[in-house]
Every structure is written in structure tokens, then in C-alpha cells.
Amino acid sequence: MKLPPGASLQEHNGQATADITKSGDTIYVTATCDSLQRQIEYYEAAYDNLLIAFDDYRNTVKTADERRTNPVKTVAVVFIAGIIAGVLMAIILTKKLYGKRTK
């Protein structure tokens, strides 16, 4: 093929396009296909949407983990509250029982 330096040739065949450029002794050929380009754009958009959804999910899980209480802390608080309630009940019942007998 004889092209003058810096010239280019572009050919279309259906959805395919070929662009041929000559620079010095080097020939560059670039080919594209409309249907492939549409698929690439579709998959890139789907990939971007999945990344966004995954980031949202990760942030939701992280927030849920931060909100979750420590079960050991919960058990300790309930245990201490139970002891305090038991001591108070014992004091109240003791005063009621022994307070009535002494009078």
C-alpha cells in the first residue's frame, strides 16, 4: 500500500472501521467495532455500578458493626444491675420483716 507520509486511510465495513496511518516507515492500524464498543461501555457502566453498590454495602456493614454493643459489656452491666437490685430487695425485705417484729 502506498500512502504519502502523514496520510491516513479510513475504511468502513458494516459496524467495523479500520484507520490506517503511515508515519515514516511505520504503519499504524486502528480497528473498532460499534457493537464491541457498546458492550465495553455496558460492562464498564455495570462495573462502576457494582463498585458503588459494594462500597455502600461495606459502609452499611461497618456502621452496623460500630453500632453493635459488646456482649461482654452487656452481660457485665446486667450482672451488676442484678446484684444491686438483689441487695436493695434484701435490705427492703429485711427492714419490713424485722421492722414489724420489733414494734
The string of pLDDT tens digits covering residues 12-56 is 787 788 888 888 778 889 888 878 778 888 999 999 999 999 999
Its pTM surpasses 0.85: no
Q: Which residues of 12-23 are buried (b: 16+ CB within 10 A; e: fewer)?
A: eeeeeeeebebe
- Report which residue type is found at 35: S
Examine the pLDDT at 65 and tell me if it is beyond 90. no
